Amino acid sequence: MSMITATTWVPRGFAAPFPTKYDFNEEEYDRISKLAKLQLDDAKEDLEEAQEEKRKSNGNTGGAKLEDTEEIDDDLKEYDLEHYDDDGKEDEGGTAAMFGNIKNLMFHDANEEDPYITMEGGEDDDEEREELQILATDNLVLAGRIEDEVAHLEVYVYEDEADNLYVHHDIMLPAIPLAVEWLDLPVGKASTGSDAKGNFVAVGTMDPDIELWNLDVVDSMYPDAILGQGAEDAANAEKPKKKKKRKSKKANDDYHVDSVLSLAANRHHRNLLASSSADKTIKLWDLNTTKCAKSYSYHTDKVCSVAWHPTESTVLLSGSYDRTVVAADMRAPEAKAPRWGVESDVETVRWNPHDPNFFYISTENGMIHYHDARNAPTDPSKSKPVWVLQAHDESISSFDINPIIPGFLATGSTDKQVKLWNIQPSGPSMVVSRDLGVGKVFSTTFAPDQEVGFRLAVAGSKGAVQIWDTSTNKAVREAFATKVPQMKGDGKERLVGLDEDETDSDSEEGEDEDEEANGGEGWESMEE
């Protein structure tokens, strides 16, 4: 089973033309082996806790061991967990067992000739370097994938003119990815100053830690930085004598203790990253120090979505399963923030980039709410949206507003449909509805650059990523011709993806005439 849970784009010009290979030297080996030891310590403690709880629940006071725990103990024997804290034992088991005989490998200076290598690099090195090349006209598309219980982040290269999409490299993740956010600031080991440009990604998963990775390094084994309690483990790995703190499961002001559901990078204050979690809190992280700068508790249930205001750079919009949305100034956490209510669990919140006085909310029952932020209700139950749209019959798992073309909205749902909408002063009207063959739609994201403004990345439960050039759709061209007069099309729709043969990529517009330009049925104006 394979599915893609989240995607995002990297603007053109930020990726290194020639990404570098990860340097696994002796120092890096020592660092990772210490971290692996800490992770195994955690596994040992979790196992002991589980055994103790089982003994208590079964009235077992410590006599005969349960069969299943005996099997687990047998599986862990090879790691010699019992002697991890003994000095000088690493070479006899434990960490070394995970890496085999790698401790005996010799690391050679790059300028010295390695006596064990007889082949010259030559043309092979040049070919490999050329294969990794990323052009200034390429976009990267980042996709969080779970496949056969293995989680990783795939880094795609999208070549627009060549109609080509391919996986450039991937990054192993510790758990199912839930949120992926691109960062233009170097962090961790690569941090060089506040003015520096970088090409990094923040990934939120079912684990409470947020991992930060350098996208310009291929085959990395460990993130460049961690936001969360896992960062303390990394620091303590350099201090083996220091007693490791037991991981807290209680919500606190320093790190998340449950799944990270949403991430939002602040494009004005580039060192700030907002995160929201199933632990009901919102955290504000300083990427220069990789520490939590502030924690907020505006909600009483899981906080599933956060978004920074496009111009008021300290205002953060947050949506929760408590069925409310809050717009709060992060500089004044004690002030009472305006709050809006909706009829079911919030899925996603987004500001309108073309008129930041307004914002969108999508909900679990397929509704889109459009609000004027200046008209905050005295009570969430008295919220009055500008309009409400029944966009889908099932949950709207993802939606996006085109950053280049005003009034262009895309929604994706677990009903497997992607719908494109034209938002006008009179209200929304549907332009086209399409099943792109990705299964239940979990992610719909527009490209960030003017040259590819009509491209929409769509992914979902079938594990496929499709790039839809929506400008090749006749109904889209007609709807937005006045806003983008240079649009051209040859009557054939353009869909680019790795699994193209398994989709409806060759379908003509005529097949969907019954679902195009429905005149805006299903929305209701709420303006007085």
pLDDT tens-place string over residues 188-197: 766 666 678 8
Cα–Cα distance for residue pair 389/6, rounded to 1 Å: 24
Beta-carbon count within 10 A of 31 CB: 16
Tokens representing 181 are 């956010």
Pick from 335, 387, 333: which is nearest to 361 by CA? Answer: 387
Half-sphere exposure of 278 (CA within 13 A, CB side): 14
Q: Is the pLDDT of residue 97 over 50?
A: no
Of 460 and 106, more confident: 460
**Residue 35: is its pLDDT beyond 60?**
yes
498: helix, coil or strand?
coil
For residue 487, what are the contacts with CB-CB under 8 A and spacing of at least 6?
A: 454, 471, 477, 480, 481
Which H or E element spans position 44?
helix 26-57
Q: Summarize pLDDT for 204-238 with one digit per residue, the tens.
A: 999 999 999 999 999 988 899 999 998 876 555 55
What average pLDDT is seen over the chain?
82
Average pLDDT over residues 511-519: 44
- Residue 337: phi and psi, rounded to 5, are -90, 145
Between CA 6 and CA 408 the distance in angstroms is 21
Mean pLDDT, residues 468-484 taken together: 91
Helix (H, G, I), strand (E, B) or coil at 69: helix
Lowest mean pLDDT: which of 13-27, 169-183, 288-302, 421-435? 13-27
Look up residue 106 and give its two tokens. Answer: 């010799």
Helix (H, G, I), strand (E, B) or coil at 449: coil
Q: Which residues contact 477 (CB under 8 A, 6 or more apart)?
A: 471, 487, 489
Model pLDDT, residue 233: 64
The continuous run of DSSP H or E covering 98 comes out as helix 95-98
235/253 Cα distance (integer angstroms):
19
pLDDT above 80 for 329: yes
Sheet containing 346-351: order of strands: 346-351, 358-363, 367-372, 387-390, 523-525
Indicate the pTM of the whole model: 0.79
Convert the pLDDT of each residue in 433-468 to its tens digit: 999 999 999 999 999 999 999 999 999 999 999 999
8 A C-beta contact, residue 419 and residue 392? yes
